[in-house]
Structure formats: structure tokens, C-alpha cells
């Protein structure tokens, strides 16, 4: 993941605040330029309508792109100093014009909102070194009924050529519906959990929100305390 991806992960822009910061709207994009590092470099930042951030750094002395800043293996002292100055510039933009999101993808955030609206339960994030992971628990017995996490697509398909990451929601399976549920496009045996009892639901718009929430309801029911489940 590049510098921009790391800084703006799980963030969404407020386009009005981008304009207040100094971004100029050009069609469906917002563009910004700022010199830094004592005027030797210029950051050129582009935010598209999807909220994706792309950036280049221009060496003003040499009048050419300073692409070494995006090559992590180039970690020399001078390059490292310029990279940290650029990272600080991006962080300022993030603090001024972006809002944090719980998860990386749009559907994952929508489902978290739906769960809160239905059950008034928000995820906790017990894995401090794993951003984009959240656990949904019963308030009475603290059992998990859902886990959203960002995982490599290649780990799901076993195809090493699959690139990027995808949010998945792990849910406890209602065993009476096992065959039916596993025939849903976008539902697979659980990633890194018991395949017989748990499923993973791809949160990449493959499965409609309504279907995802039906599976959430099932998981919450089968993991409830016996007293709650019988009510």
C-alpha cells in the first residue's frame, strides 16, 4: 500500500472541507498543490468523487517527479526525510478534511450502521494492530456473533494473482440452513474460523444488504444465551 493509501485508510472526505482547505474542484475531482521541505518540493494531491486519494511529489529544483518517495526500498536519509515531510502534509489534510470510518469498504460501514440501528450494538476493536477489524458481541454473554475484517482476496480464492483486499463478515451459521446459505453467491466457509459452524460473507456488494442482515439475525440468534434464544 502506498503512502496515500496508508494515511487515508478508513477515511472519507468532506468535499466542502476540502474546498475550505484549498482544493479546487475540476469536474468530478478535487486538486491541491502545496510546496514543502523548504520550498524544494511540491505535493500534488488529487481526490476523486469516490474519495480515493492520489498524490505525486515534484522536485522543483530538478523540475521532475520525485518518484523515489513512493518506492519503500529507497529508505536513505534524505529520501526518508522528504517522505516524512510529505506524510505530515498528508496527515494535515486528513485531519482537516477527512472523517474516520470504522471499516475500509462502503458496505462494511453500512452493515455496521444497520446492526447499530437494529440492535444498538457497535463493534469493539480488540486487535489494536489490525485496523479495519471489528467484533460484534452480545451485551449479556459477550459472545461474538459477527467479525468484520479486511483480508487479502488471494487468501479467499487461493489464487495468488488476485490483488487487493476485501472486507468480509464472519457469522455463526444456522446449521438448519447450511446448504441454502452456502449456495448464496458471495458466501463461503469461514475465513480463519471453524468451517462447519461459521461463514464468511463478502462485503463487496456481491451480497445485498438485506440478505447480509438476515444472516446477521441468524448468527445473533444462534449465539444468544439459551434464555434469550428461547424468548
User: Could you tell me the domains of the chain?
Assistant: 3-100 (3.30.1820), 106-229 (3.90.1150.30)
Note the pLDDT of residue 132. 80
Residue 25 is predicted with a pLDDT of: 96
Rounded to 5°, the CA angle 44-47-52 comes to 120
Task: Please give the chain's pLDDT, 231 residues, in tens.
Answer: 689 988 998 888 999 999 999 999 999 999 999 999 999 999 999 999 989 999 999 999 999 999 999 988 877 789 999 999 999 999 999 999 998 888 888 899 999 999 999 999 999 988 777 778 899 999 999 999 999 998 888 878 666 566 788 999 999 999 999 999 999 999 999 988 888 999 999 999 999 999 999 999 999 999 998 765 544
Burial class (CB in 10 A: 0-12, 13-18, 19+), 8: buried
Half-sphere exposure of 145 (CA within 13 A, CB side): 25
In sequence order, what DSSP letters do the residues of 96-112 get, joined into one string?
HHEEE-SSSSHHHHHHH
Count of CB atoms situated within 10 Å of the CB of 25:
12
Q: What are phi and psi of 32, to 5 degrees?
A: -150, 145
| Helices and strands of the chain, counted as H and E runs | 8, 12
Q: What is the pTM of this model?
A: 0.68
The predicted structure's pLDDT at residue 73: 80
> Can you give the pLDDT at residue 131?
72
CA distance 26 to 118: 40
**Integer angstrom CA distances of residue 211 from 34, 104, 113, 201, 216:** 46, 20, 15, 10, 9
The dihedrals phi and psi of 141, each to the nearest 5 degrees, come to -110, -5
pLDDT number for residue 155: 75
Amino acid at each position: 500500500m502506498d503512502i496515500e493509501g496508508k494515511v487515508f485508510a478508513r477515511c472519507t472526505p468532506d468535499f466542502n472541507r476540502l474546498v475550505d482547505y484549498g482544493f479546487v474542484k475540476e469536474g468530478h475531482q478535487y486538486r491541491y498543490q502545496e510546496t514543502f521541505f523548504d520550498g524544494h518540493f511540491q505535493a500534488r494531491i488529487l481526490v476523486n468523487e469516490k474519495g480515493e486519494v492520489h498524490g505525486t511529489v515534484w522536485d522543483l529544483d530538478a523540475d521532475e517527479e520525485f518518484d523515489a518517495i513512493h518506492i519503500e526500498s529507497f529508505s536513505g536519509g534524505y529520501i526518508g526525510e522528504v517522505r516524512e515531510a510529505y506524510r505530515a502534509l498528508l496527515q494535515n489534510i486528513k485531519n482537516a478534511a477527512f472523517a474516520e470510518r470504522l471499516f475500509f469498504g462502503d458496505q462494511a460501514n453500512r452493515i455496521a450502521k444497520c446492526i447499530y440501528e437494529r440492535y444498538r450494538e457497535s463493534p469493539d476493536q480488540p486487535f489494536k494492530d489490525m485496523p479495519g477489524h471489528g467484533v460484534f458481541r452480545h451485551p449479556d454473554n459477550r459472545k461474538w456473533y459477527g467479525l468484520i475484517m479486511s483480508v487479502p482476496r488471494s487468501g479467499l480464492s487461493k489464487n495468488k494473482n488476485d490483488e487487493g483486499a476485501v472486507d468480509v463478515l464472519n457469522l455463526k451459521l444456522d446449521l438448519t440452513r447450511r446448504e441454502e446459505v452456502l449456495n448464496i453467491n458471495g458466501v463461503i466457509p469461514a475465513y480463519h474460523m471453524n468451517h462447519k459452524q461459521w461463514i464468511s460473507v463478502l462485503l463487496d456488494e456481491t451480497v445485498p444488504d438485506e440478505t447480509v442482515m438476515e444472516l446477521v439475525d441468524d448468527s445473533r440468534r444462534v449465539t444468544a444465551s439459551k434464555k434469550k434464544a428461547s424468548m
